[in-house]
Chains A and B, each alone.
Chain A
Amino acid sequence: EIVLTQSPGTLSLSPGERATLSCRASQSVSSTYLAWYQQKPGQAPRLLVYGASSRATGIPDRFSGSGSGTDFTLTISRLEPEDFAVYYCQHYSPSRPSFTFGGGTKVEIK
Chain B
Amino acid sequence: QVQLVQSGFELKKPGASVKISCKASGYTFTDYAVSWVRQAPGQGLEWMGRISTNTGNPAYAQGFTGRFVFSLDTSVSTAYLQISSVKTEDTAMYYCARKLVSGSLYYWGQGTLLTVSS
> Which residues of A are interface residues toward B (Cβ below 8 A)?
1, 32-35, 37, 39, 44-47, 50-51, 56, 88, 90, 92, 94, 96-104
**Would you list the 10 A-B pairs with minimal beta carbon distance, nearest first?**
A35-B104, A33-B103, A44-B108, A92-B103, A99-B47, A50-B104, A101-B45, A104-B44, A47-B106, A103-B44
A98-B59 Cα distance, complex, nearest whole Å:
8
| Interfacial chain A residues near B101, Cβ < 8 Å | 50-51
| Interfacial chain A residues near B100, Cβ < 8 Å | 47, 56
- B104–A47 contact, CB under 8 A? yes
| Interfacial chain A residues near B11, Cβ < 8 Å | none
Interface residues of B in 10-49 (CB under 8 A from A): 35, 37, 44-47, 49
| Interfacial chain A residues near B110, Cβ < 8 Å | 44
| Interfacial chain A residues near B102, Cβ < 8 Å | 32-33, 92, 94
Q: How far is the CB of A77 from chain B (nearest CB, A)?
A: 22
- A92–B104 contact, CB under 8 A? yes
| Interfacial chain B residues near A34, Cβ < 8 Å | 103
Identity of the chain A residue whose Cβ is nearest the Cβ of B60 in the assembled complex? A98
A-B residue pairs in contact (CB < 8 Å), sample of 26:
A33-B102, A33-B103, A35-B104, A39-B45, A44-B97, A44-B108, A44-B110, A45-B45, A45-B108, A47-B105, A47-B106, A56-B104, A56-B106, A88-B45, A90-B45, A92-B102, A92-B104, A94-B102, A94-B103, A96-B59, A99-B47, A99-B105, A100-B47, A101-B45, A101-B46, A104-B45
